[in-house]
Amino acid sequence: MDRVPVLKLGDVLLVSIQVDLADKTTVQLEEDLSERIVATGARGVIIDISALDIVDSFVGRMLATIAAISRVLDAETVVVGMRPAVAITLVELGLSLHGIQTALNVERALEVLSRARDDDWIPPLDTEDDTAPAAP
Amino acid sequence: MTGDPGEEAQTQAVVSDQDVVRVRQLVRTAAVTAKLSLVDQTKVVTAASELARNTLVYGGGGSVQVRVVRQRRSGVRVELADDGPGIGDLELALTDGYTTGGGLGLGLSGARRLVDEFEIDTAPGRGTRISIVKWAR
């Protein structure tokens, strides 16, 4: 069985799917990624599907599941490189990929992830502002 | 009108998830030969992938025939057959979101939307036969 490699880049896990995914490989990737998110404490996951010439409901569900799992594990998932024909087909198939962030390429995805992290950053309390809530 | 018999049918047994991948590759090759646009190739390959997975998961395995058809236009015909339990309530099975297998329930209904012709012959205990066609525009 093929196994899709998961690469670590700083606090981001990068997955580039280069094979026509059999269902078992898809399920294996889902498990591998969840384990690696926890093991590495990754804050972001980038899944590059630019080499996939189709995404059917099984792979679509894997993408949605990984996004949901990573959210629970405090990481953000961005799917990159979806081909236009794949996007058209997915929508007509009825898969909306709800809740999945997408970006044009890996570079943009890294920007999205670093912006998300900046938004997470809570500024120190302004001591001059009396209305500021007390720190927990 | 039967048209030109055209290319010979390619047959693929579907007994494992690797066979579903092979079905996709056969359908892709036929769709290129039939000169389907890239979007239409993608649609028919995706539809075949959904249906071949159904053959495997619900039908307990079966076989798929892929052929290029030529009438006024060229196209791809994919026929899937299994001797599984068949489908009791077809209307329900063709409803978006209906599943008995824990999937998304988009396989049958979604595949039908992606192709130009969709025929299904099934009954409880009689297995399931599905034929789809996608025509070049």
Q: Which residues of B touch A58 (CB under 8 A)?
A: 49, 53, 103
Average pLDDT over every residue of B3-17: 81
Domains and CATH numbers, chain B: 10-135 (3.30.565.10)
ipTM, 2 decimals?
Answer: 0.87
* Residue A113 CB burial class (10 angstroms; 0-12, 13-18, ≥19): buried
Residue B93, pLDDT score: 84
Q: Which residues of A touch B104 (CB under 8 A)?
A: 57, 60-61, 95
- Taking only the tens place, the pLDDT of each residue in A17-69 is 999 999 999 999 999 999 999 999 999 999 999 999 999 999 998 999 999 99
pLDDT over 60 at B121, yes or no: yes
User: Could you tell me what percentage of chain B is helix, strand and coil, using 3-state DSSP and rounding each to the nearest 5?
Assistant: 35, 30, 35
Q: Which residues of A touch B107 (CB under 8 A)?
A: 57
Q: Is B46 on the interface with A (CB under 8 A)?
A: yes
Q: Is A98 on the interface with B (CB under 8 A)?
A: no
Average pLDDT, rounded, for chain B? 91
Tell me which residue of B81, B82, B43, B49 sits closest to B65, measured CA to CA.
Answer: B81
pLDDT over 50 at A96, yes or no: yes
- Taking only the tens place, the pLDDT of each residue in B86-119 is 988 888 888 887 777 766 677 899 999 999 999 9
Q: Where are the domains of chain A?
A: 6-113
Q: Is B110 on the interface with A (CB under 8 A)?
A: yes
Q: Is B33 on the interface with A (CB under 8 A)?
A: no
Cα(A132)–Cα(B14) distance, rounded to whole angstroms?
64
In which band, very low, low, confident or very high, does the pLDDT at B49 lie, cut at 50, 70 and 90? very high
CATH number for the A6-113 domain, one of 3.30.420.10, 3.40.50.150, 3.40.50.300, 3.30.750.24? 3.30.750.24
